[in-house]
Structure 1
Amino acid sequence: MSNIIGFLESIGRTRLSEAQYAAAVATLDIDAAQRDALLRRDAGALNDLLGGRATQMMMMLFPVEEPRKQDDEPADDDRKDRDEPSESIRRH
């Protein structure tokens, strides 16, 4: 399998004519079914021959944020900018 993966990575970086592609596939040390799938450019058949997954899925999970209740909002005097230094360390 690693021969095929390496081959696919290398041809992904270059442009080959149909004849060059066929010649490159012919040099691989792989079985006839894999070679045939590559020549037909049949990704599904190649995936099956290599024992790949039928479907891959990506999911992202995000925490649910509860809406803030009005009672939970801080009072006006508590809304000061928190980055502001306290009176004792202010520069004059």
Structure 2
Amino acid sequence: MAAEEVVQTVDHYKTEIERLTKELTETTHEKIQAAEYGLVVLEEKLTLKQQYDELEAEYDSLKQELEQLKEGPLLLKDVMCDISNQLAFFSI
């Protein structure tokens, strides 16, 4: 009977080792998948950050250009006033 118990115990341990090995393999695979997914997310984040920075720079450039265009008529008006004043001075 003792030999039979030893065989059962050995079989039990073999089964437990197989179960734990399978579980470890699955868990390792899941961790690798999670790490790969994390890398994809980080790469996408980097790409989006670069796109955001480019768009922000373009926005700032266009905003500055718009301000310059808005100031253009005022500058032209000032130049015209200066010319008008100079002409008035010379016509006296």
TM class by smaller structure: under 0.3
TM-score, with length taken from structure 2:
0.22
Which structure's residues are more often helix, by fraction?
2
TM-score, with length taken from structure 1:
0.22
More relative contact order in 1 or in 2 (CA 8 Å, sep 6+)? 1
Greater CA radius of gyration, 1 or 2?
2
